[in-house]
Structure 1
Amino acid sequence: MSIYRALLLSILILAAPLAAQAKVAVLVHGYLSDASTWERSGVNAMLRQAGWQQAGYLGMSPAGLVDQPLPHKDSDKLFYTVNLPSLAPAPVQASWLQASLDRISRKHPGEEITIVGHSAGGVVARLMLVQHGAGKVKRLITIAAPHLGTDKAIRALDAVDDGGMFGMIKEWMVREEIGDRMYNTLEVSRGILFNLVPPAPGTLLYWLNIQPHPDIEYISIIRSGGYVIAGDLVVPPFSQDMNQVPALRGKSKVYITVQGHELTPNDGRLLAEIL
């Protein structure tokens, strides 16, 4: 009799529907931005329209990790936003991102995670993967990310370089042109700006781009211009393509969008299709 019971139990287990595995995405903002940029840009709205639900927000405070769950409908498609110190050097941001991912992974044991990084957030996410490993991350999507750097970072560093005989005069002239607030912001963010200069010996991107990367899926969303749209004026298109990274040559899928550097609802629509 016990044999028949065991056989019946096995049949019932096989016949029972498997629990649906949730899709989990983590959205990482870029320089001079924060977690709210995904909401303000309309990306979150497009994801919700496609059935995604925001499950929470994570950030850091002097007391440690801030984990703010958000009320949401039952869904097998969940996303989180993380708030990083966007003026801090990339390694600092990568450590904060890793702490957030560890917490999210514990919330969703056995489920795969996709990271979506916009602009510098894409570089921070890639640095985190190289330094700390992929863990449960199975896919990295970057949007307009400067994987090969941007000349804008060089110009920003030059603007706040007040050394030399005429340093004080130069500082006064630059402050007059861009304002005290922006000048002070550039000054305190020299670390991340140096991390985003084009690869050359001694730079972060030179080191990062030749390191072994985790064997996960890589997707590059690249900005391009059109007849009436200038395209991305912050990061050149070739720099946004992870296939141009020596360690990832030929490993990234590519999607091209005709728009500027900033996030728009179109990014949400495209992400909903990719995810």
Structure 2
Amino acid sequence: MKRATLLVILLVSLLAGSAWARTAVLIYGMVSNPDAWYKHKVIQPLLASGWADGGMLPMLPNWAAQKAPDVVYTVRMPWWLPLEAQARYLDQVLRRIYALRKEPVILVGHSSGGIVARLYSLAPEKWRVPVAGVITIASPNLGTPWAKLGWQMLRSPMGRMLKEMDDKSERLYAARYLLWELASDKRGNTIHRMAYMRHPEGVKYISLVHMRKWGGRRMDDWVGMMVPPKYQDLRRVPALSGRAMTIPVSAGHQLDKRDGWVLAQLLRREF
């Protein structure tokens, strides 16, 4: 009798553990790389709270982490490509993760990476990997006025000169169409269309809004308004009115260790 009871308890524990398993995928934005999540101490609070590091995909998966209840991955993205092309690339990576984990993913994106994550969630019939939630960090969810300026600069002779300088500059030149997609005042561009597209009811949408103002001693303080707070706020997206959650974070545009603390709490509380 005792043996049967222990088996029942073990079975219930296993089922409960699998039910609470979570998979998070971190997506960086323009002119960045997966190391940013470590450099700015965003991923460390997740690891300290029990998440396993699944490695960087598609190149360096950590196979030992795959059976952990909660696993967080970083992705090396072609950040200079248009949003749709980035979403297609992300789909290939997520399919690899889904083949291992068999559970919905939580997409966390910084800056334009958050827009790629949101775009991916809008077409579940196309991509086939289920999404449990999208968390954007300092993302231009309603575009940004500065994208138009960057687009105009890259179309000028100065922008064409960048193409000849080095690999990173060539990629920046290639990102001119991406900047057009993210411009806040271009009706009909991708970010404008997304604002009115149906966002699936089963997906949680959360925005971390970086609030630091202009000025200060750090360079990030001066670029902190690259995406002004009101353009980051998912609650202002017409299709998400009354559905999205927004959390203010005292930071400039770059990732910040405060993002890690907030993420760890959000993932525990909301998913």
Q: Which has the higher helix share?
A: 2
Distance 1:13 1:130 in 2: 42
Report the counterpart of residue 250 of structure 1 in structure 2.
242
Instruction: Give the superposition deviation at 1:57.
Output: 2.0
1:126-168 residue CA offsets vs partner (Å, 9 max, x unmatched): 1111134574311111100001111221111111233xxxxxx
User: Which residue of the partner structure matches residue 168 of structure 1?
Assistant: none
The answer on whether the counterparts of 1:57 and 1:70 sit within 8 Å (CA) in structure 2 is no
Q: CA deviation at 1:224?
A: 0.9
| Aligned twin of 1:127 | 119
Match in the other structure for 1:46: 45
User: How far 1:180 moved relative to its partner?
Assistant: 4.6
Shift of residue 72, structure 1, vs aligned partner: 4.2
Q: 1:200 to 1:158 in 2, by over 3 A?
A: closer
Give the TM-score normalised by structure 1: 0.81
Does the aligned pair in 2 maintain the 1:160–1:183 contact within 8 Å?
no
Once the two structures are superposed, residues 47-91 of structure 1 have per-residue CA deviations (whole angstroms, 9 ceiling, x without a partner) of 2122211113213xxxxxx46235449742210111110011111
Which residue pairs with 1:274 in the alignment? 266
Where do 5+ consecutive residues of structure 2 fail to align? none
What's the CA shift for 1:12? 7.1
Q: After superposition, give the CA deviation of every residue in 1:4-62 in whole Å (9 maximum; x if it has no partner).
A: xxxx97x7775443321222111011111122211222112222122211113213xxx
Instruction: Determine which of 96, 99, 105 is the counterpart of 2:98.
Output: 105
8 Å CA contact retained: 1:54, 1:70: no
Larger CA Rg, structure 1 vs 2: 1
Q: CA separation of 1:107/1:172 partners in 2, compared to 1, >3 Å: closer, same or farther?
A: closer
Please give the alpha-carbon distance, in whole angstroms, between the structure 2 residues aligned to 1:173 and 1:199: 21
Counterpart code for 2:94: L
Residue 207 (structure 1) shift: 1.3
Aligned residue for 2:155, secondary structure, equals coil
The alpha-carbon distance between structure 1 residues 67 and 213, as it changes in their structure 2 partners (threshold 3 A), is farther
Residues 1-275 of structure 1 mapped to structure 2, 5 A cutoff: 14-16=8-10, 17-19=12-14, 20-21=17-18, 22-59=21-58, 66=59, 68-72=61-65, 75-109=68-102, 111-133=103-125, 135-162=129-156, 171=157, 180=165, 184-215=170-201, 216-225=203-212, 232-275=224-267
Instruction: Check whether the contact 2:79–2:86 (CA below 8 A) recurs between aligned residues.
Output: yes
User: Distance in 2 between the 1:99 and 1:15 partners?
Assistant: 38
* AA of the residue aligned to 1:155: L
Any conservation in 2 of the 1:98–1:132 contact (CA below 8 Å)? Answer: no
Task: Tell me whether 222-231 or 43-52 shows the greater mean CA deviation.
Answer: 222-231
Is this contact kept in 2: 1:42–1:264, CA < 8 A?
yes
- Deviation readout 1:218-248 (Å, 9 max, x if unpaired): 1110011369667832101011111111111
How far is 1:173 from its partner? 10
Contact persistence 2:105–2:131 (CA under 8 A): yes
Cα pair 2:41 2:256 within 8 Å, conserved: yes
CA apart distance, 1:199? 5.0
In the alignment of these two chains, the number of paired residues is 251
Taking a change above 3 Å as real, the CA distance of residues 211 and 106 of structure 1, as seen in their structure-2 partners, is same
* Unpaired stretches in structure 1, ≥5 consecutive residues: 1-7, 60-65, 163-170
Q: Distance in 1 between matches of 2:91 and 2:171?
A: 25
TM-score, normalised relative to structure 2: 0.82
Amino acid in the other structure paired with 1:102: R
Q: Output the CA distance in 1 between the equivalents of 2:265 and 2:190.
A: 32
> Would the aligned equivalents of 2:212 and 2:225 in 1 still touch at CA under 8 Å?
no
